[in-house]
Amino acid sequence: MAGLQFHPRGTHLATAAGDGTVKLWDFASASCVSTFTDHTQPVWSVDFHHSGDFLASSSMDHTAKLWDLSSQRCRQTFRGHVDSVNSVQFRPFSNVVCTSSGDKTISLWDMRSGLCVQTFYGHLNAANAAQFNNRGDTVASCDADGIVKIWDVRQVAERQTLSGGQHPLNSLSFDRSGTIVAAACDDGTVKVFDLEGGEDKMGTHAADLRGHEDAVQSVMFEPGGKYLVSGASDCTFRVWSLGS
């Protein structure tokens, strides 16, 4: 299993898998209620629309797809990337989908038309993940060179470039305020970036969270913003308190 996401109402769980399938699980019946098989290669990421009626997925087959959960069919296939699509996320409370790709780009798509409405260029290596802040006006993305870029969605411009070192960054997450970004790193650490840290902290990360013994693959702030959860190739997950 490569990725998972809870339904907005907490009734279901969507999973993405290396066998090319997307599955929807019902907690009440403790069973799989839907399996989507249109992707032709491993699926890396899934995300629910805020309505709970649609699910997006991204795949190594160079596409992202939009699934209509009521009809159990693929509603859109987002085509345009020329390498693996490594992550997918809906812009909060909108019909825009964000993808990151091995082709070094971040793209925004209209889920109604299936068309790409914006592409951000600037990464020099595979873009492994992209994430909106809660307001939906900023995207953070990370790549295989250890670089995080912060993008202004409204001005369609790069706002900051932050270095996490020489190792690939695999995923990232904004805190609730949108001023802190945490990134999962291949060197076994979680890199924490303070976007408002002043001139002395611009361009590099503010702190390393050490404890994992192998590459960190995923990281996420819990909704309250008090804790950060990370999962790693050392077969452990850790819960971090960043303090006040």
Per residue in 140-169, pLDDT tens? 999 999 999 999 999 999 999 999 999 999
Number of domains composing the chain: 1
**Residue in the structure block whose two tokens are 């690939």:** 168
pLDDT digits (tens, 9 = 90+) for 179-188: 999 999 999 9
- Compute the distance between CA of residue 216 and CA of residue 236 in angstroms, rounded to an integer: 10
Instruction: Label residues 109-136 b or e (16+ Cβ within 10 Å = b).
Output: bbbeebebeebbebbeebbbbbbbbeeb
Q: What is the CATH number of the domain that holds 152?
A: 2.130.10.10
CA dist 132 and 99 (Å) reads 11
Q: CA 76, CA 103: separation in Å to the nearest integer?
A: 21
**Percent of the chain whose pLDDT exceeds 90:** 90
Mean pLDDT, the chain, rounded, equals 93
Domain extent at residue 183: 3-241
Phi, psi of 228 (to 5 degrees): -125, 135
- Please give the structure tokens belonging to residue 20: 């090319």
pTM equals 0.92
Q: Is 226 exposed, middle or buried (0-12, 13-18, 19+ CB in 10 A)?
A: middle
SS in 3 state form for 168-213? CEEEEEECCCCCEEEEEECCCEEEEEECCCCCCCCCECCEEEECCC
Q: List, for residues 78-96, the tens digit of each pLDDT value.
A: 999 999 999 999 999 999 9
* pLDDT tens digit sequence for 98-138: 999 999 999 999 999 999 999 999 999 999 999 999 999 99
